[in-house]
Amino acid sequence: MIGEEYFDLRSKLGTDLYVLASLVKELGGSGDDVHILENLIASLRDPFVFVVVGEVNVGKSTFLNALFGADFSRTGVTPTTDRIYFFKHGNEVSSTTIAPSVEEVRVPCGFLKDFHIVDTPGTNSIENEHQQITERFVPMADLVVFVFSAMNPWGASAWQFLEKVHRHWMRNVIFVLQQCDLRTPEEIQVITDYMGQLSRQRFNRDFPLFAISAKKAYLARSSGLDRERLLAESGFLALEAHISETVTQSPARMTKLGSALRLAQHVLDQLMHRTSTRLEQVQERKHLIDEMQAEREVQVLRTKTKFTAALDVTDRDYREAAMHVVTLADKNFSVRAAFRAIKEDNRLPANLDLRIYQDMLARSGERWHQVASILEDDFKRFEDYISHHWRGELHLTELKNDEGEDVSTEARLHFISKFESAMRRFVLGLKIQETVEPGMMRSRLRARRFPWIVAPFMPATAAVWAILGWQAGLIGAAVTLLTALMLLVILRAGLRHTLRQLADQFDNARDTLRTILSDQATEETVNAFGIFTRLLQPAREDLQHEEQSKRDVSTRLHEVQTSFQKLAGQLQGHLPPS
Ligand SMILES: Nc1nc2c(ncn2[C@@H]2O[C@H](COP(=O)(O)OP(=O)(O)OP(=O)(O)O)[C@@H](O)[C@H]2O)c(=O)[nH]1
Ligand SMILES: [Mg+2]
């Protein structure tokens, strides 16, 4: 293929530019960068322009068809190219007159995407088109092919035409001696020698000259029979090699690739810089969140430690309250009270648990309100710490509840209500009533039985007194008294025992109270500070996600970078010395 090396470089660069542009877009980069890259991609597509000139019927159109292996230009024995044909790529064949005697023809031929071909009528046919060709097409041409026929290479019009070409553009001119199959190699040698001599005389320079047979080349390409031999004989291989070199060595094109690469490299550098800066930021942010999480845990411990004093004081308060209740109970637990209770059936000490609950609230309530305020203050301070470190990126509006109340205040109120219910739970857990009731019932039963046991002794004593005399009567009275006394002692011992049980119960529950309150306070603190985890965790996950995607992008950018370096190396050999 003609210009394979150039097209290979160009297509690699095009792919890299495309990848880079999509990365810029993906990263939401600047529209300018995307625009630059898209323009670069479009500019790479600039096709090569070949202009073919020569006298009528020398085989210009046949030469073009053979060169590109396609029948896109009409050929024939009579003059067929009657105007300037500008061949470009199109999805279907179409033809538009773009200027008097200039026709733009669109043909669905792949190579026309890279090459625009200008086929011209014979220089000896219509004079007024010469100007158009020299002024309009030659300056835009990468290659101007002068075709001569081996049958008559000396037609004056082609040579005259060449004189009209500005010297500047002559460097793009090559000579093609066509239809060489109609002459012997010796004749061709004579002709080419003379053509060289002539061009040196008239233009003071040599033009690259190729003796070819488009007919044979076309046959080789189209039929495939005896392909190698036909192609070798056609002289096309040397010509194609020269054109390839012209294309690949085209300083303008290579410089263009080079500057496209440089511009793209600049965009890439910026993108890489931005990506790595952002990656660093993201990692920093992630680290910061981890630090804040750790700090949050420490803060929870710190806040919890502040409860110890309150727990100690509450323990003391509890002992006092318990003592008070035991004293209170003591009055109800007297023998007299037991006897009084016979009449009034439900004379258990009323609601001892409610009393101790209220007593505890009265003694320690204020202290725990203070603890709740400590929690609120610590929470606010931590909120400040987070806002400060997170520089407003975290949406602390979330730290309001549905009613728009501060979460810290909510935490305080919640703490207080939870403290009260913990107390209630504890007091219920004491099961005072259950401890006291059996003993009370027993003593009441004993009190109730007392008269029934003691009463029969009285008439018995009286009878003994009457029958056996006063001595026996006295003994009977003593027995009665002793029995009554014994019963009272038993009754009192039972009551003491119950009271002791109650006191022990209170004492044993001290640890439970401490545990319940400590657990409750810990739970409230952990819950309150838990909101920061709920706030930080999604942010951390987002960052984690972004970190991963930035790493992926970075890898892809490095791939483009590597490819750019390779391209730069390849281009180096083709760039004109600066
Ligand atoms: N033997 C031989 N004949 C050729 C060769 N190339 C072209 N011809 C013939 O020469 C004639 C003219 O060919 P074209 O390609 O139409 O020539 P042209 O220069 O485009 O002609 P115009 O467009 O009229 O100026 C045709 O009959 C071709 O078959 C060749 O290499 N060898
Ligand atoms: Mg023609």
> For 289-345, how does the pLDDT look when each residue is reduced to its tens digit (9 = 90+)?
999 999 999 999 999 999 999 999 999 999 998 888 888 878 777 787 777 777 665
- Close Cβ partners of 320 (under 8 Å, ≥ 6 residues apart): 363
Nearest ligand for residue 125 CA: 1
Ligand 1: atom nearest CA of 216 is: 31
Domain boundaries, the chain: 47-234, 282-453+499-547
Counting ligand 1 atoms within 8 A of each CB, the residue from 51, 52, 57 with the most, and so the one to mutate, is 57
Residue 77 banded pLDDT, cuts 50, 70, 90: low
Structure confidence at residue 578 (pLDDT): 60
CA distances (Å), origin 126, targets 56, 57, 122: 10, 14, 7
pTM as predicted? 0.67
Structure confidence at residue 91 (pLDDT): 92
Residues lining ligand 1, Cβ inside 6 A? 54, 56-62, 75-77, 79-81, 121-122, 178-179, 181-182, 213-215
CA distance 509 to 296: 33
- Of the candidate ranges 41-45, 422-426, 550-554, the one whose mean pLDDT is the lowest: 41-45
DSSP state, 242? H
* pLDDT-above-70 percentage for the chain: 95
Structure confidence at residue 118 (pLDDT): 92
CA distances (Å), origin 326, targets 363, 425, 439, 501: 17, 20, 14, 10
Contacts of 130-137 with C-beta under 8 Å, sequence gap 24+, read: 130/161, 130/164, 132/84, 132/99, 132/101, 132/102, 133/51, 133/53, 133/84, 133/161, 134/161, 134/164, 134/165, 134/166, 137/49, 137/51, 137/84, 137/86
Structure confidence at residue 418 (pLDDT): 93
> Which residue has the least CA distance to atom 17 on ligand 1?
59
Structure confidence at residue 354 (pLDDT): 85
- Has residue 115 got a pLDDT over 80? yes
Report for 96-100, 206-210, 424-428: range of highest mean pLDDT: 206-210
49 DSSP β-pair partners: 116
- Close Cβ partners of 149 (under 8 Å, ≥ 6 residues apart): 54, 55, 57, 58, 59, 155, 177, 178, 179
67: CA distance to ligand 1 center in Å? Answer: 14
Pairing of strands 84-89, 94-99: unpaired
Structure confidence at residue 31 (pLDDT): 81
With beta carbons less than 8 A apart as the criterion, state whether 540 and 289 touch: yes
Structure confidence at residue 532 (pLDDT): 87
215: CA distance to ligand 1 center in Å? Answer: 8
Calculate mean pLDDT across residues 415-427.
92
Nearest ligand for residue 54 CA: 1
CA distance 343 to 438: 18
- Has residue 348 got a pLDDT over 60? no
With beta carbons less than 8 A apart as the criterion, state whether 51 and 137 touch: yes
- Of the candidate ranges 76-80, 85-89, 334-338, 443-447, the one whose mean pLDDT is the lowest: 76-80
Structure confidence at residue 356 (pLDDT): 86
Q: Which amino acid is at 428?
A: L
The CA dihedral of 23, 27, 29, 35, to the nearest 10 degrees, is 30
Residue 79 banded pLDDT, cuts 50, 70, 90: low
Structure confidence at residue 135 (pLDDT): 77
236: CA distance to ligand 1 center in Å? Answer: 16
Report for 128-137, 339-348, 488-497: range of highest mean pLDDT: 488-497
Pairing of strands 209-211, 102-107: unpaired
Structure confidence at residue 126 (pLDDT): 66
Mean pLDDT of the chain: 88
- Protein residues placing their CB within 5 Å of the ion ligand 2: 60-61, 81
Q: Which residue has the higher pLDDT, 464 or 126?
A: 464
Structure confidence at residue 3 (pLDDT): 82
Residue 203 exposure: Cα atoms within 13 Å on the Cβ side: 21
- Has residue 573 got a pLDDT over 80? no
Counting ligand 1 atoms within 8 A of each CB, the residue from 51, 62, 234 with the most, and so the one to mutate, is 62
CA distance 13 to 34: 15
Residues listed for the chain: 578
The CA dihedral of 285, 291, 294, 300, to the nearest 10 degrees, is -90
H helices present in 456-469, as ranges = 457-468
Q: Could you tell me which CATH class the domain 47-234 is placed in?
A: alpha beta
Tokens matching residue 55: 């006298």
Calculate mean pLDDT across residues 538-560.
94
- Has residue 44 got a pLDDT over 70? yes
Nearest ligand for residue 152 CA: 1
Nearest to 218 by CA among 244, 179, 185, 182: 179
CA distance 360 to 310: 13
- Of the candidate ranges 74-78, 216-220, 516-520, 557-561, the one whose mean pLDDT is the lowest: 74-78
Nearest to 524 by CA among 351, 365, 368, 334: 368
Tokens matching residue 134: 């020299």
